[in-house]
Amino acid sequence: MTTRSVRRRAALCALPTAVLVGLATAGPTAPAAATSEEFRPQLVTVDTPTREDKRLLQTLGLDLTEHAGHDYVEVVLHSPADVTALVSAGLGYDVRIPDLLAREAENNRANAAYAAATARSPLPSGRDGYRTLDDYNADMAALERDHPDLVELITLPHPSLDGRKIHGVEIGKDVRGPDRGLPTFLMLGVHHAREWPSGEHAMEFAVDLVTNYGTDARITDLVDRSRVVVVPVVNVDGFHLSRTDGGLVDLRETDGGGTATILGTPGNAYKRKNCRVVDGQDTPDGSCALAVTSNGGYGVGVDPNRNYGGYWGGPGASDLFADPTYRGAAPFSEPETQNIRELVSSRHVTTLITNHTFSNLVLRPNGAAPDLVAPSEGMPLGDPFDEAALKALGDEMAAQNGYTSQHAWELYDTTGSTEDWSYNATGGFGYTFEIGPDEFHPPFPEVVDEYLGAGEYAGKGNREAYLIALENAVNPATHSVLTGKAPAGATLRLRKTFATPTWDGSIQDSLDTTMTVGPDGKYTWHVNPSTRPVVMDRQVETVSGEPVAEQSWTGTTLPAQSTDREFTIDQDVDLFEIALDWPTPDDLDLEVYRKNADGSLTSVGGSGNFVGEKERVLLQDPAQGTYVLRVLNFASVTPSWTLTASLFNAESETVAGLVENWTLTCERDGRVVERVPVTVERGQQLRVNLTACGRR
Ligand code: 0X9
Ligand code: ZN
């Protein structure tokens, strides 16, 4: 059996471009006196055709963004000194956004104009502008105050590194009463500091459910059948900085009052990570804002969406502190991820949505491509056991907001993300929403439109997608149900301890959940299946033998040019592999298009690996027709290449999995009276009478 290893995009190059801005510091990069008066911070694309160029760029102390491909990095230039640094290093660049201040000011103006013209937006809360962290906390407290039977303000167990409490709301009928075994729907926002709409949508959904409870039949029914937990801002420190440190900075203050240098920048408005300043150390509260280890504080922190335990330490996450996707010193090393871990481990979260911005995507597990092999497992990651069901729900949600529903790895590989862990460890379905087309925090009216839907999605939008997710959370067909008799008032506990695979090791996980038996001596408990997806049967695609058809070309493409070759598929095959090879470490790139009847081209794949890695594109179940294979040369000096198109039939092989059980205990007066192992599958309803628990 041979498994072809076909690498997907390694870089973050699939991320759309956006404005990313950092804080200008009065330090080595402070503006030079004479020429800085006219300087406006700008976003540039720096050419980095080789690894050495990337390394060199990293030594210059510039504000690098995550928007980087194999041969470029987007950088914010804050001053003439930044320009000088770049030019003296011999790195070339193109200006993408010549005036970031104008861009930020434009957004600010649009927001102010909208707020002035709007008494009440059509959002459930009526808000007409982005919340601050205080606004979130006040709104959550108000929901509880105004609806005490329906809303409980919760405080997550771990305060943030800068010493803040992290709040959420739990919504449910008789929310303060005993837990009666209802399924949990979890909605998260703002893992990434600058992704403000992700918190707004989570919060609006909470307000929506609460204000429509009792009048809207669908919402009333859903709330009656679930517990909804909303944590709108997971990364409170990062968000607070991003939200409040975005004002213009007048560097005359820090410039000794000398040369009228007005270098306003939107400060930390585009911070991504949390406020970890030194790994393993809790720095003094409030110190995050001061800890500028790179321009803008952009380099400070751990990426909370790379710090979860699932496949932690693998591709698509960095081990360098200053990198935007820094994974942290260890799995779950950060308070933000510990909080969500404990929340998810102490309830049956049957569905979760973690909101981000942007790209208009609904992403489902897994985060890393199916052909990758985690050393901890020694076999390809494959598709999740529940792929068909995960896809069906993802597609249905995407039909409401017009987003693209796809595997998370199709964006780029990630490991250590929220649902890489939560789905694989608990079986609860998990999705990442990337809200909005093109900005991390766009003008507010876009937040309104994305929530309520606009144009052909009017009346749908994320609101409807979330409601569908909540319907999935309460649907017994998508999780498991235990029912039976047990003594009234007894505590039932379901527990499981296991090893969750990281990329090349494992961590210990414990799920520990309870419910209280009602006065009628019967219970119904909505739970996640006993066997974790990560150990279940796994579909692994292996290519069988020789290609059924193959064609090769050799050619030469001069720098900054491209060459097209056509290839026609006239039979049904499982895999279409396009491989580009060349003799030296120089870099070429590959793009693949489908040729339409009218001659126009539709992109169906591309690869943008780092220098030295050869380019391959793999298409599953390719449609018959003509394809255009495009070789691009960005900077290679020896541009001869070999291009090979191969068609394969693949065998889908099932790697047999394990069966795991829950341990169900019945406790009275804090004493375990009965203990039974319970094996239950997704969609199964199992009767377990705990009669021994009733005897004295
Ligand atoms: O990189 C991320 O964490 C997400 N994109 S963002 O621009 N918001 O930073 C995408 C994560 C996708 N991967 C998984 N959800 N596994
Ligand atoms: Zn994000």
Phi and psi at residue 330, to the nearest 5°? -160, 160
* 417 touches ligand 1 (CB under 6 Å): yes
Say what the pLDDT of residue 614 is.
Answer: 67
Taking only the tens place, the pLDDT of each residue in 644-660 is 999 988 887 888 899 99
Packing angle, helices 461-474 and 387-401, rounded to 10: 150
* 420 touches ligand 1 (CB under 6 Å): yes
DSSP string, 271-292: --S----BTTB-PPTT-TTT--
Taking only the tens place, the pLDDT of each residue in 627-643 is 999 998 866 666 789 99
* 411 touches ligand 1 (CB under 6 Å): yes
pLDDT tops 70 at residue 227: yes
434 catalytic? Reply is yes
Q: 607: which strand partners?
A: 590
Are the C-beta atoms of 61 and 112 separated by less than 8 Å? Answer: no
Taking only the tens place, the pLDDT of each residue in 140-194 is 999 999 999 999 999 999 999 999 999 999 999 999 999 999 999 999 999 999 8
Query: Mind listing the domains of the chain with CATH numbers?
Result: 3-100+270-290 (3.30.70), 108-243+300-478 (3.40.630.10), 541-654 (2.60.120.380)
* Closest CA to ligand 1's atom 3: 305
Q: Cα separation of 378 and 372, whole Å?
A: 10
Residue among 74, 434, 450, 464 flagged as catalytic:
434
pLDDT tops 90 at residue 250: no
Task: Spell out the alpha helix ranges (H) of 318-417.
Answer: 335-345, 387-401
Q: How many CB atoms lie within 10 A of CB 72?
A: 24
* Closest CA to ligand 1's atom 12: 408
pLDDT tops 90 at residue 476: yes
* 432 touches ligand 1 (CB under 6 Å): yes
E strand segments, 91-189: 93-97, 151-155, 167-171, 184-188
Measured in Å, residue 266 CA sits from the centre of ligand 2 at 19
What six digits make up the tokens of 98? 């010549």
The residues, any chain, with a CB within 8 Å of residue 566's CB and separated by 6 or more, are 595, 626, 627, 628, 629
Taking only the tens place, the pLDDT of each residue in 157-167 is 999 999 999 99
Measured in Å, residue 278 CA sits from the centre of ligand 1 at 24
Measured in Å, residue 130 CA sits from the centre of ligand 2 at 17
State pTM to two decimals.
Answer: 0.79
- Of 257, 128, 262, 152, nearest to 200 by C-alpha is 128
The residue ranking higher by pLDDT, 397 or 76, is 397
* Closest CA to ligand 1's atom 16: 367
DSSP 557: -
Lowest mean pLDDT among 104-113, 336-345, 551-560, 579-588: 579-588
pLDDT band of residue 65 (cuts 50, 70, 90) is low
- Which ligand is closest in space to the CA of residue 191? 2
Q: Which atom of ligand 1 is nearest to the CA of 15?
A: 7
* 367 touches ligand 1 (CB under 6 Å): yes
Say what the pLDDT of residue 11 is.
Answer: 26
Q: Which atom of ligand 1 is nearest to the CA of 434?
A: 8
Q: What percent of the chain has pLDDT over 90?
A: 62
Say what the pLDDT of residue 594 is.
Answer: 94
Say what the pLDDT of residue 452 is.
Answer: 98
Q: Which atom of ligand 1 is nearest to the CA of 409?
A: 13
* 111 touches ligand 1 (CB under 6 Å): no
Q: Cα separation of 265 and 101, whole Å?
A: 7
Q: How many CB atoms lie within 10 A of CB 550?
A: 12
pLDDT band of residue 198 (cuts 50, 70, 90) is very high
Lowest mean pLDDT among 50-64, 385-399, 421-435, 526-540: 50-64
pLDDT band of residue 293 (cuts 50, 70, 90) is very low
- Which ligand is closest in space to the CA of residue 434? 1
Average pLDDT for the chain: 85
* 636 touches ligand 1 (CB under 6 Å): no
CA 611 to chain CA centroid, nearest Å: 26
Say what the pLDDT of residue 381 is.
Answer: 93
Q: Cα separation of 481 and 527, whole Å?
A: 6
- Mutation test residue for ligand 1: of 432, 433, 438, 503, the one with most atoms within 8 Å of CB: 432
